[in-house]
Each structure stands twice: as C-alpha cells, then as structure tokens.
Amino acid sequence: MNHDYIDLQPVTHVQGTVRLPGSKSISNRILLLAALSQGDVDIIDLLASDDTAVMLAALRSLGVEWSEEATAIGTIHHVKGVAGVLPNKSADLFMGNAGTAIRPLTAALAVIGGDYTLHGVPRMHERPIGDLVDALNAAGTNVDYTGNPGYPPLHIKQGKIHAQRLSVRGDVSSQFLTALLMVAPLLAREHAITIDVIGELISKPYIEITLNLVRRFGVQVAQDGWSSFTIEPGQVYQSPGTIHVEGDASSASYFLAAGAIGGGPVRVEGVGRQSIQGDVRFAAALEQMGATIVMGDNWIEASSNGPLKAIDADFNHIPDAAMTIAIAALYADGTSTLRNIASWRVKETDRIAAMATELRKLGATVEEGADFIRVTPPAALGPATIDTYDDHRMAMCFSLASLDGLARKGTAVRINDPKCVGKTFPEYFAAFAAIAK
Ligand SMILES: O=C(O)C1=C[C@@H](OP(=O)(O)O)[C@@H](O)[C@H](O)C1
Ligand SMILES: C=C(OP(=O)(O)O)C(=O)O
C-alpha cells in the first residue's frame, strides 16, 4: 500500500522563472570522464539527485577521490582523475535505476578489469544491457549475468580485449554506444579502435552529447555518419580543469509545457540556444503545437498563443521530453500521435503502457502500439489519482494536468509516490508550486 502522495488543485495561471537543476546526462558522463582522466577536475553545478548519487558512490567504492565544496558560484565537485587505473580492483556497486551510470560503468570496468558486481533496484534488473555485454565480450571482456541473461545484475572479471573493431546494436538504447565510445580511448592504446553500429541507432542526440564531452576531455572521435566511429591511438582523457554542467533540458520540458498550456510566460534558465542537449528541441515541438517560444543563449521562454494544436510527429530524437508532449496533448484541439518511441517500453517503467493507463484516468481516449501512442483529449478533464510506477517523469508530467488550458480546464490530481522525482529533480514540486499562481 502506498500512502505517500501529493494533491494538486486546479491552477488558473502559470508564470515565472525556474532555474533548472543540472543535466543528468551531462553530470554522469562528466563524472566518469573526470575519474578516467589525467589530472583533477572541478565540476560546477553537478546535478544532485539519485542518479548522480549512485555514480558518485560507485566512484568512491572504486577508490576515486572526490569532494564537494559550497562556493559563492554554486557547488563545486573536485574529482581526482586516476588516468584509467582504478585503485580498488574489487567492488560491489549499487546502481539504483540509473541507465547513465550502469551502462558506461559496465563498459569501463569490463575494459579495465577486476572483480566487480553491479546491481540495482528491481526495475533495473528488467532493463536490457545484453547488447552492450555482447559487444564487450565479443571483443574479449569477461562479463557474466548473475540473474537473467541479458539483464543486470552483472559480474565482471578480468578479460583481455583482442579486437580492434567492436560492433553494437543501436536500436534498444543509445547508451550502449555511449558506453563504448567513452571507454574507446582505453582500448586505443596502440592501434585505432572502430565501433560499428548494427541496425538503426535510436536517441541520436545523446550520442552527440557523448562526443561533445569526450572532446572536452581531449579525445577526438572520427564519425562516419551514425554507423561507424573511430578513435585513433594514443589519445588519453585530459582534465579540462573546470567544467560546467548546463541545466537539464528534459527537466525544462515540464515548465515550458506549463507556459504553453496555462498562459505563461514561463522561463527556464540553464539551457538555451547554446545547449548540447537534444531535448532543447522539445521547444520546437511545442511551437509546432502553437505555443510561442523565445530563446536566448542560456534560457527558453514559453507562453500560450491560443489553444494548443494537435501534433503527429516522430519523437525518436527526444524520447524523454516526448512524454511531456503526451500530456500537452490533453489540451490540444484534436488527436495527437507520438511515433517511433519503442524505447519508452524499456525505461523506468513501460512508459507507453503507464502513460496510456494514467491518461485514461483523466478521461482521454488512448491507443497504444509497440512504438506509438495516440491521445485524444476528453471534452473535460476529470479528477484522478495518478500512479507513477517509480518513474520520475510520470510524476512530473501528470502534475501538468492540474493546469487550466485555453481549450479545457485542468483538474484536481493526486500524484502517488511523488518522491520518485528524486531520480533527476528532487525539488520538482516546489519549483512547480512557484510558477502556479
Ligand atoms: O545517454 C543518455 O544520457 C540518455 C539516453 C536516453 O536513453 P536511450 O538511449 O536508452 O533512449 C534517455 O532516454 C536517457 O534518459 C538518457
Ligand atoms: C530513461 C531515463 O533514464 P536512464 O538514464 O536511467 O535511462 C530517463 O531519465 O527518462
């Protein structure tokens, strides 16, 4: 039985400015790159959340030293790079439900070698990792499953990479390719390493984040479209000195949607035109739905400009922020279809099923398929108790159903287990309350 919930009353107007927490994707990549690099790294504005906590704890268990300092310009994390040589050769690592922690760490530990176990929450043990393990073991590492084949928990032992070419499937999660790209310089000591992508690559903008950050740590990757990536030998990760984490563009989506649905303007600070995150393109989807979007280098502002228009589009490039579109669809003038989102089914929960179930509670008509969801709004939203499936994005998305839109009014919603937002945005409900007028 779950007795923990938050009740949200209908909100007639939203307006204000939100300073975003740091990007999860950038934070966890930078932490691992900093640990692997030569020299010390100062990280400004690292995200403080469950997903980064598990990465920080894992690095400490592996013997990587880091400390945290509160300064006038924000929190700085000092990480002492170990230049690819981990002090602790054995460790048992709890990875929570953080895909951005377990996938790259598995690759790093498999390549470096030792005696390591990695496990997580029950859902983590249902999230696939087989394509990554297959790619690594085919190249000579020694990674075993201790539960179900293809899924964590994992046991990593000493292996020896003999291959100069690795191949990985790209159609279940882009994080497998990200993981291999991050460890490629450790393999490319004497000869170049090439990584081939088998099949379609999903979630491509996350690979751009990886390549961008790897470059910031001094490593160049040659790219042949999205099908092959080559790392020339002799490149080692070098500390960039100080590195700043931009705001989280996926977290921005809730506030931008709020502005688009419920009046606005709502401004988010921490991401903008200069962002390296693909999820800033969520703003373009809102614009397509009729919202007014204004963007600066480091901020984005959304406001409504008449009732939202229904949308029918491919959302493969922004799988996380696309969940917010499924909620904005409740306020649109017709049926919206979100296509090419099969990866939703293997994330924090089966997000296509969860989204369909909870949208129906509000009165929407929902059709779901293997890789799409189609949402037709009801004449009027009805009050509902929303289950969140231990999925931060379900909790954050459904808070928006309390907002009055121009086409239809919001409703009272009870959000069960609201603390699940801790995965990426522990202060979410306070930030939401601050823009609700
Ligand atoms: O690399 C990353 O930082 C991420 C990649 C995406 O996953 P998939 O590649 O599995 O779609 C995204 O959904 C996840 O939240 C973060
Ligand atoms: C899919 C997500 O997380 P993960 O990094 O665990 O894959 C997400 O944050 O929406």
pLDDT in tens, 187-199: 988 999 999 999 9
* Residue pLDDT, tens place only, 103-140: 999 999 999 999 999 999 999 999 999 999 999 999 99
Q: Which ligand is closest in space to the CA of residue 171?
A: 1
Q: Which CATH architecture has domain 24-231+240-244?
A: Alpha-beta prism (3.65)
What was the pLDDT predicted at 408? 95
* Residue pLDDT, tens place only, 61-73: 999 999 999 999 8
303 marked as binding residue: no
Rg (the chain; Cα; Å): 21
Cβ(100) to ligand 2 under 6 A? yes
99 marked as binding residue: yes
pLDDT category of residue 3 using cuts at 50, 70 and 90 = low
* Residue pLDDT, tens place only, 299-340: 999 999 999 999 999 999 999 999 999 999 999 999 999 999
Query: Within the chain, which residue ranges are assigned CATH 3.65.10.10?
Result: 5-21+247-435, 24-231+240-244
What was the pLDDT predicted at 437? 84
For 5-21+247-435, CATH number out of 3.40.50.300, 3.90.1150.10, 3.65.10.10, 3.90.420.10 equals 3.65.10.10
Cβ(178) to ligand 1 under 6 A? yes
As a 3-state breakdown, the chain gives helix, strand, coil percent values, each rounded to 5, of 35, 25, 40
Statement: residue 101 has pLDDT above 60: yes
Cβ(316) to ligand 1 under 6 A? no
Statement: residue 389 has pLDDT above 60: yes
Statement: residue 1 has pLDDT above 80: no
Cβ(97) to ligand 1 under 6 A? no
Cβ(347) to ligand 2 under 6 A? yes
393 marked as binding residue: yes
Ligand 2, atom 4, residue with closest C-alpha: 99
Q: Distance from the CA of 421 to the center of ligand 1, in angstroms?
A: 17
> What angle is formed at CA 155 by the lines to CA 129 and CA 105, rounded to 5 degrees?
55
How long is the chain? 437
174 marked as binding residue: yes
Q: Over 403-437, what HEC string results? A: ECCCCCCCCCEEEECHHHHHHCCCCHHHHHHHHEC
pLDDT category of residue 210 using cuts at 50, 70 and 90 = very high
The overall average pLDDT reported for the chain is 97
Indicate which residues carry an active-site annotation: 320
Q: Which amino acid is at 80?
A: K
Statement: residue 282 has pLDDT above 80: yes
Compute the average pLDDT of residues 252-263.
Answer: 97
What was the pLDDT predicted at 73? 86
Ligand 2, atom 10, residue with closest C-alpha: 320
pLDDT category of residue 2 using cuts at 50, 70 and 90 = very low
* Residue pLDDT, tens place only, 221-246: 999 999 999 999 999 999 999 999 99
Q: In what order do the strands lie in the sheet with 142-145?
A: 90-94, 115-119, 154-157, 142-145
Q: In what order do the strands lie in the sheet with 5-8?
A: 5-8, 413-416, 384-386
